[in-house]
Every structure is written in structure tokens, then in C-alpha cells.
Structure 1
Amino acid sequence: MQSGHQLCILSILQKLSFIKGFDELVSMRVLLLKEPRDGEAGPDPYIQELAARGHEATMIPVLSFKFVSLNNLSDKLFQPDKHGGLIFTSPRAVEAVKMCVEAEGRGEEWRLIKDKWNAKSVYVVGKATGDLVRQLGLKPLGEDSGTADVLSCLIIQRENAFLLPLFFPCGSIKREVLPTALRDNGVPLETLTVYQTAEHPDLQESLTSYFTQKGTPASIAFFSPSGVKFCLETVRELSSERLTRIKFAAIGPTTADAMTAEGLCVSCSADKPSATGLAAAIAKVLL
């Protein structure tokens, strides 16, 4: 039989064990600074992959988008004979195409047109963009390239100056790496801005609410240079002296470069821009 003294010590140890467990639980929190995937059934894949590795992830939308030039985009989509292929480097550009396809009941017409595009090349960056392209009935190439820089090398290898220009629907703040590389190597290209990017109107309030309710997360993941631009100052203010304890993660090298340029120490970067790639990278640094 245990004495009263022993029971008292046991009680203290149990409480300490609970506190330790609670601290470990807090340390598993991950903040994802990105928009949920539109139309995604079930749990978001990033949250799901992190949960499978024992991490509690929260997603905060960072960007808002306004679609523009859709009439012009529609004209080009339904005249595939004027272009040598398509390039998509973001899910939003694919969403703009989907809006054009679904507008005015042009679905049946698209079923015929898409085969003409599939006879050409449809280049993409990233699995998320590739999945959306497949939903349109198109066959993506290069989704494992990871960055526009790498994709440009693939395109240069496959295309030549004698083909019709590739058509590149893009955002207002796209990087110029891919267009420059293609033009420098004689690959004709036509770009069209189909969406404009801005800070999400609820971003600052959402960040403040997260830090107030859940505290400083163990890891924060950025998904674009724009996300770094819009979030970093607020994250620094809210985390204060705890900033150096946060493991900062990047979805890829372009985002990592933007983080480094702002003075952040990048703890990890996904080997591929996917939920699995990012979750695996974060899991390693949170061991």
C-alpha cells in the first residue's frame, strides 16, 4: 500500500506528465499561409498529410484574386489553331479557364476543342495545377518540374522557334523567369494576364486571432513570395521574441528565396510542391 507521501509525489508526477504532454501538443501546431483548394472534397490535403504525421495544422487564406480579361481568354481558348500549346504555372490561371468553359453553356464546344489542345503540349508547374488541368480534360506535362525555372528547361528542350507561340495565361505579379528564358531561346510565347493578386481582406485579423487563441506555432509555411510580402511583418510582431523558435517552411525554392531575402532562416523546403512533400519536410524539422 502506498503512503500519503508516495501518493502526493505520484500526483505531482502525473501533473508534470500532463503539462509535458500539453507542451508537446502545442509544439505540434503548424500554420499554413495559403488558400484552401477550391472544390476540394474532404479534408484539405495539406492538413491531412500533416495530421497523419501528428501535427495540428491551421490554414489562413493570404491572397484574394480578381479575374480579368476573361472575354479575351475565352477567344484564345476556343481558337487552339493559333497557338502551339498552353502553359499554366498557377491554379488560379486554370480556374480562369474553367470559368470561360462553363460560361454561356460552352461545355459541349469545349469537349471538341480540348482534343485539339491535347494534340499539342499543355505544360504545368506543380501537382495542384496539374490536377485542375486534368479536370478540364487536358493532359498536363511537367507537373513534377516544381518551379517555372525547371519547367522552362523542359519547354526549351521540346519546342522550337518554328512552332506557333505557346499561350500563357497568368497572374498580374508573375515572375519573368519563364517568359525570359523562353524568349532568350527562341521559343515564341504569348502571355495574357487573367487575374490580379491582392492581400486577403481578412488576413491581418485572422493572423491576430490565431496567435491570440493558439499561441505561437512550431512551424509556419509560406506558399508564395506574395505570401511572404503580405504576412511577414505581422508574423514578426505577433511572435515577438519567439520568432527565432519558429521553424519556417517553404513550398519551393522561389518562396524560400523570398523568405531568405527578408532575413528569415528557412528551416526546410518541400522537395516537390505538394502536400506530401511539404508535410515530410516539416515533420523532419519538428522531430
Structure 2
Amino acid sequence: MSFIPTILSTRKIQVTTLEALDIQGVKLLQEDYISTEHLTFDLSKVNEYVLFTSQNAVKSVISQGYREVLNKKPALCVGIKTKELLEENGWEVKAWAHYAKELAPIIVQNYTDNTITFFSGSIRRDLLPDAFRANGVVFNEFTVYQTVLNPLKNEHKIDGLCFYSPSAIESYLQQNSITTEVCFCIGDTTAEPLKGVTQNIVIAKQPTVEATLQACVDYYK
């Protein structure tokens, strides 16, 4: 009987995403190791451009009734899925990149004469704000969602793990250890907390959930 690896995805995958992929070569387990909660905020001053670094920030803004106010502002964003969600909801996306570290120089080069309102989560890196301050980019920031860890004990023998954020790794490691498992990561930023924990790291070709799962399937073919 051929080997069928067991993979744990640290977030539950939408059915439509699974249907679009051929994952017959692996047994996929799914648990949500983090969740997000929308934070209420008082939308005071909004600058010329709006900046989103995740779909969660867009969803929070929309859920609180600010779409019609904000989608008149041109947008900057991180992630192809964030870009698609913004465009579906009426925004014009002027610039985007797969990673914040790629978007920062684009903004510094092209938008230093503009002002930006940044909608972020409770756990975020300082990369963009630091780049703005260092280069005189005027911005303000609203924290619009909170990341909540959900550390679950894994009771299954698994061969691989799919991670989509550093927070999910932090959550997983609170109750579990990583030994021989191969870790499939959505991107470089997600992989960083695993350095010193394991060398068995595979980074997806694109920073999307689909590409992460595809990397997993390809690895075991």
C-alpha cells in the first residue's frame, strides 16, 4: 500500500478552495489555531490613501459600515487576496505587493507626497510604520481586528503542518512540539518563527492558502 501522508492545516479551509485543488495524495486534517475578532473603532481623520495588509482588516472595516466612506479612497495593500477583496467592494487598488517588505519601497518611492491611513491588526510587524517614519510619509493608523490564539493539543500522528501566519505557529507550539514534521509555510514572514525549531521548512511559491496546500501536495508526489 502506498504511503499517504497526514497533514494538519492550522486553519480550516473553505470548501471552494479544496474543490479547486487536487489533494487526493494526502490526508488533510484541519483545525483553527487562531481566530480574529473585529475591534470597534472611531473613524476620525482619513487621509488620501487607505492601506490594508490583510483581508481581516478589510472585512472589519466593511462589517462596521465604513465601506461607502472608505472605498472612495484609492487603496494600497499587501496580498493578492486582499487586493481582490478590495476590488470586489469598490476600491481602486493603486499599488500592491505579496509582502509588506515589497510594498514599503513602492510606497516610499511613489507616495511620499501623499498621506496614508493604515488599517491594521493587533499583531503586526513594524516594517511599514518604520519605513514611513524614516522617509517622512505622513500616516495615521487604526487597529481594526484582534488576533486570538487557540492553542489545541494535536492527538494525531502527522507528517506535515501547514502554517499561514506567525501567530498560528506560536499557537501550535504552546501545546505541541515539532520534530520530524515538514512545515509548509505561506511565506517568508510566517517561516521566520520556525528558524531554530526545525529545518524542515517548505515555502509556498506564492503567499496564498492555495499555493501552500499545493506545495504540500507537490512535496509528497
TM-score by length of 2: 0.87
Residue 33 of structure 1: CA displacement? 0.8
Residue 34 of structure 1: CA displacement? 2.2
Answer whether contact 1:67 1:196 (CA < 8 A) is retained: yes
Answer whether contact 2:162 2:213 (CA < 8 A) is retained: no
Q: Cα–Cα, structure 1 residues 229 and 99, in superposed 2: closer, same or farther, change >3 Å?
A: same
Larger proportion of helix: 1
2:130 aligns with 180
1:252 aligns with 187
Counterpart CA distance in 1 for 2:12 and 2:211 is 18
1:93 aligns with 57
Amino acid at match of 2:93: P
Q: Tell me, yes or no, if structure 1 residue 281 matches structure 2 residue 207.
A: no
What is the number of residues matched between the two proteins?
Answer: 221
Amino acid at match of 2:220: L
2:169 aligns with 228
Counterpart CA distance in 1 for 2:216 and 2:190 is 15
Taking the TM superposition and a 5 Å limit, the aligned residue runs for 1:74-89 are 75-76=44-45, 82-89=46-53
* Identical columns (%): 24
Residue 249 of structure 1: CA displacement? 1.0
Larger proportion of strand: 2
Moved >4 Å (runs of 4+): none
- Structure 2 stretches lacking a partner, 5+ long: none
Residue 275 of structure 1: CA displacement? 3.1
Q: Cα–Cα, structure 1 residues 218 and 68, in superposed 2: closer, same or farther, change >3 Å?
A: same
Residue 50 of structure 1: CA displacement? 4.9
Query: Cα deviation per residue 1:226-268 (whole Å; 9 max; x = unaligned)?
Result: 11111124231xx7xxx31x2111110001111114x122421
Amino acid at match of 1:272: Q
Q: Cα–Cα, structure 1 residues 90 and 278, in superposed 2: closer, same or farther, change >3 Å?
A: same
Counterpart CA distance in 1 for 2:58 and 2:170 is 24
Answer whether contact 1:65 1:196 (CA < 8 A) is retained: yes
Q: Cα–Cα, structure 1 residues 142 and 228, in superposed 2: closer, same or farther, change >3 Å?
A: farther
Taking the TM superposition and a 5 Å limit, the aligned residue runs for 1:18-167 are 20-21=1-2, 24-25=3-4, 27=5, 29-36=6-13, 43-45=15-17, 47-48=18-19, 50-52=21-23, 54-70=25-41, 72-73=42-43, 75-76=44-45, 82-101=46-65, 110=68, 114=71, 116-117=72-73, 120=74, 122-143=75-96, 145-160=97-112, 162-163=113-114, 165-167=115-117
Residue 170 of structure 1: CA displacement? 0.7
Answer whether contact 2:79 2:207 (CA < 8 A) is retained: yes
CA-atom RMSD in angstroms: 2.4
Query: Cα deviation per residue 1:90-149 (whole Å; 9 max; x = unaligned)?
Result: 1111111111227xxxx7xx1x763x31xx3x1111122222212321133444x22111
| Counterpart secondary structure, 2:124 | coil
Residue 280 of structure 1: CA displacement? 3.3
Residue 57 of structure 1: CA displacement? 2.4
| Counterpart secondary structure, 1:265 | coil
| Counterpart secondary structure, 2:118 | strand
Q: Cα–Cα, structure 1 residues 197 and 275, in superposed 2: closer, same or farther, change >3 Å?
A: closer
- Structure 1 stretches lacking a partner, 5+ long: 1-19, 77-81
Q: Tell me, yes or no, if structure 1 residue 269 matches structure 2 residue 210.
A: no
Rg comparison, structure with higher value: 1
Answer whether contact 2:164 2:209 (CA < 8 A) is retained: no
Query: Cα deviation per residue 1:148-173 (whole Å; 9 max; x = unaligned)?
Result: 1111122112202x32x201111111
TM-score by length of 1: 0.69
Amino acid at match of 2:11: K
